[in-house]
Amino acid sequence: MTLGAIEAGGTKFVCATGNEQGDVFDRVSIPTTTPAETMAAVDDYFTTHPVDAIGIGSFGPIGVNPDTPKYGYITTTPKPGWGDFNFLGHLQAKFDMPLYWTTDVNEAAYGEAEMGIAKDVPNSIYMTIGTGVGAGVIANNRIFNGRTHTELGHMRINRLPGDDFKSACPYHDICLEGLAAGPAVGQRTGKAGKDVAADDPVWAIVADYIAQACVNLTVSFAPDKIILNGGVMKQKQLFPLIHEKFQSYLNGYEEVPPLAEYIVPAGLGDNSGVVGGLLLAKLALTEA
Amino acid sequence: MTLGAIEAGGTKFVCATGNEQGDVFDRVSIPTTTPAETMAAVDDYFTTHPVDAIGIGSFGPIGVNPDTPKYGYITTTPKPGWGDFNFLGHLQAKFDMPLYWTTDVNEAAYGEAEMGIAKDVPNSIYMTIGTGVGAGVIANNRIFNGRTHTELGHMRINRLPGDDFKSACPYHDICLEGLAAGPAVGQRTGKAGKDVAADDPVWAIVADYIAQACVNLTVSFAPDKIILNGGVMKQKQLFPLIHEKFQSYLNGYEEVPPLAEYIVPAGLGDNSGVVGGLLLAKLALTEA
Ligand SMILES: Nc1ncnc2c1ncn2[C@@H]1O[C@H](COP(=O)(O)OP(=O)(O)O)[C@@H](O)[C@H]1O
Ligand SMILES: Nc1ncnc2c1ncn2[C@@H]1O[C@H](COP(=O)(O)OP(=O)(O)O)[C@@H](O)[C@H]1O
Ligand SMILES: [Zn+2]
Ligand SMILES: [Zn+2]
């Protein structure tokens, strides 16, 4: 059996083939231009690389609730051409096989939960802190959705005294994404995140806000692990700072796993999404 | 078939019998004194009122994870005698029948989700704002648990400018329970909540903090409904204030149901817990 994965990002799509163990046989990267152009390349890929099922994780927001008319769509993205695009419908028309449709972060979360750093625990949260903040929640080994997918990047956090940085989120004066994602780091320092020194004071602010978010995730979802990934988390010095602040904010209210095993980097690195896609394809086949 | 329910609170236990439709046949209230005394009365009740299964919702924190040694226990409560009490084990030894064990708020959440205000939707959150803040999450018609139950009362929220009230939570300088539950209202005003005038300025503060919590619940769990209950929510004027603040904090970031149907009072009033218990007993029987 050969499985397929699509990791559909705002900059590039990755299409891959592999097996039920999450081994990747082949992969290709396709620039995200117009739906017509990008999807033609996706269709080509899976025509020349036949598979039995495809797991799809897409940038969004997307419709993930099968009871709503926009299920399978990318909904309100500002990305030209992609708003109101029936992504799943397009694939269903071309490929008569089980398809699993979810968000890019849920796909990565599932990869980490099944084969990555959270493979031994049933409950985990995967949060990527990059251009935006996205998160996928795995509860009892399954992707968690409510009425729609989570939007955890827009959780409210508390500004540190004296932090009067204007939020980079157009909606919220106070939210994790607006105060601590890549663009906020860029605007706070005047440099790209990767060029900011490891001991720059901005990282203490970023770590504090991420730690606050981790406290909220803890009291909300009670995960076994919180996995932090994305461009900003390439700054590995953030982990100990986050652990320290998390400890002080939670303040012993409830027992959590040892922090070095609780708030952790991804185990599959940049492969979380593709591996997740393959395993979601397997899930779609099993449940078909 | 006769079903049983226990709503085990820190002040009183309610034991009841009823049917699968959530109709209550009989109920009794037992003061929460020592485990020996209170549990003897519970045992008596279900000996004289025989049932086929019992749904139990208990004050806590409790062990809800079957993979842990403290499953079925009340764990770290300061309530004398009840810490480390094996509640479920006690009942299992007396009653050879299916038992469903969860928190008091999950039990009430389940009652509301099945027979109350959320009966037509699969995803809801029940939050009680009383002596403390407790919440139960229903996702896809089931009680949500992670590694343990949620502790949503300790979610961090943002203090309003000028609000330097010392948090009533011994753990957190900033959390919903510490700043907005009944004891905080009492300390802020010098009066019992029920004696504070409906137009007292304290309610604007309380409503703001509850609205912030509702924003976090929205971006976290994407429920179909958020149900607010408990002593503090007897102040019905809080609802419109919460709706207004919620709207301004979410700021159109994502679509939510009309607020008057989204953030709502409980449909079963003080019966949520008992009805939930009966229906959890039914669930335990079905799955036994
Ligand atoms: N080494 C780094 N240190 C800090 N920030 C980084 C680093 N690399 C990338 N970033 C920032 O992360 C963001 C990109 O995040 P990334 O997760 O790579 O992609 P995206 O979120 O767009 O999918 C940018 O804002 C970038 O400045
Ligand atoms: N009508 C009311 N208005 C405001 N606060 C109230 C009212 N009734 C009770 N309270 C407050 O709610 C708290 C009790 O909450 P309740 O939900 O009744 O019980 P508990 O949380 O202890 O189970 C107390 O702090 C009390 O002062
Ligand atoms: Zn935001
Ligand atoms: Zn607290």
Nearest CA to ligand 2 atom 14: B130
The per-residue pLDDT for A78 is 85
Within 8 A by CB and 6+ apart from A222, the residues are: A123, B145, B146, B147, B148, B149, B150, B151
Ligand nearest the Cα of residue B181 is: 2
| Angstrom distance (rounded) from CA B127 to CA A192 | 42
pLDDT tens for residues A30-63? 999 999 999 999 999 999 999 999 999 999 999 9
Task: Examine residue A152 and state whether it is found in any structural domain, yes or no.
Answer: yes
Mutate to test the interface with A, among B120, B220, B248, B256 (most CBs of A within 10 A): B220
* A48 Cβ under 8 Å from any chain B Cβ: no
- Give the number of C-alpha atoms closer than 13 A to the C-alpha of residue A25, restricted to the C-beta side: 14
Q: Provide the 8-state DSSP code for B236.
A: T
| Angstrom distance (rounded) from CA A285 to CA B243 | 43
CA distance readout (Å), B89 to B4, B39, B42, B99, B287: 17, 12, 14, 10, 19
Do residues A199 and A165 share a domain? yes
| Residue B141 domain boundaries | 117-266
The residue of chain A with its CA nearest to that of B154 is: A219
| Angstrom distance (rounded) from CA A262 to CA A264 | 6
| Angstrom distance (rounded) from CA A5 to CA A46 | 10
The per-residue pLDDT for B199 is 97
Do residues B143 and B250 share a domain? yes
| Angstrom distance (rounded) from CA A8 to CA A33 | 12
Within 8 A by CB and 6+ apart from B166, the residues are: B187
Task: Examine residue A214 and state whether it is found in any structural domain, yes or no.
Answer: yes
Do residues A62 and A80 share a domain? yes
Within 8 A by CB and 6+ apart from A135, the residues are: A105, A109, A125, A126, A127, A128, A150, A152, A153, A217
Is the previous residue joined to B66 through a cis bond, with omega within 30 degrees of 0?
A: no
Task: Examine residue B69 and state whether it is found in any structural domain, yes or no.
Answer: yes
User: Does ligand 2 lie within 6 Å of residue B257's CB atom?
Assistant: no
Q: Which amino acid is at A236?
A: K
Task: Examine residue B232 and state whether it is found in any structural domain, yes or no.
Answer: yes
Task: Judge: B155–A61 Cβ closer than 8 Å, yes or no.
Answer: no
pLDDT tens for residues A256-286? 999 999 999 999 989 999 999 999 999 999 9
Q: How far is B153 from chain A (nearest CA, A)?
A: 8
Q: What is the CATH number of the domain that holds B182?
A: 3.30.420.40
Do residues B91 and B132 share a domain? no
Task: Examine residue B32 and state whether it is found in any structural domain, yes or no.
Answer: yes
Contact residues on chain B for A250, CB-CB shorter than 8 A = 171
Question: What percentage of chain A exceeds 70 in pLDDT?
Answer: 100
Q: Which amino acid is at B45?
A: Y
* A144 Cβ under 8 Å from any chain B Cβ: yes
Number of neighbouring beta carbons within 10 Å of residue A205: 21
* B41 Cβ under 8 Å from any chain A Cβ: no
Task: Examine residue A110 and state whether it is found in any structural domain, yes or no.
Answer: no
The residue of chain A with its CA nearest to that of B254 is: A151
Q: How many domains does chain A have?
A: 2
Q: Provide the 8-state DSSP code for A237.
A: T
Grouped pLDDT means (10 residues each) for chain B, 288 residues: 97 97 97 97 98 97 96 93 97 98 98 98 98 97 97 98 97 98 98 98 98 98 98 98 98 96 96 98 94
Structure tokens at B161: 């400018």
User: Residues 161-220, chain B: which have Cβ within 8 Å of A?
Assistant: 171-172, 174, 212, 215-220
| Angstrom distance (rounded) from CA B223 to CA B214 | 10
Task: Judge: A151–B223 Cβ closer than 8 Å, yes or no.
Answer: no
Task: Name which of A146, A249, A254 is nearest B221 (Cβ-Cβ).
Answer: A146
Structure tokens at B27: 């109920």
Structure ipTM: 0.97
Task: Name which of A156, A219, A249 is nearest B212 (Cβ-Cβ).
Answer: A156
Do residues A214 and A139 share a domain? yes
Mutate to test the interface with A, among B120, B123, B154, B157 (most CBs of A within 10 A): B154
Nearest CA to ligand 2 atom 18: B231
Task: Judge: A222–B253 Cβ closer than 8 Å, yes or no.
Answer: no
Number of neighbouring beta carbons within 10 Å of residue B178: 25
**Predicted TM-score of the model (pTM):** 0.97
SS3 assignment, position B268: coil
| Start-end of H helices in B30-172 | 35-48, 87-94, 104-115
Task: Examine residue B111 and state whether it is found in any structural domain, yes or no.
Answer: no
Do residues A85 and A132 share a domain? no
State the DSSP H helix or E strand holding residue B282, giving kind and residue range, or none if neither. Answer: helix B272-287
CA distance readout (Å), A143 to A51, A118, A123, A216, A278: 23, 13, 10, 19, 15
The per-residue pLDDT for B52 is 98
User: Does ligand 2 lie within 6 Å of residue B231's CB atom?
Assistant: yes
In the reported structure, the alpha carbon of residue B48 is separated from the centroid of ligand 2 by a whole-number distance in angstroms of 33
Do residues A157 and A253 share a domain? yes
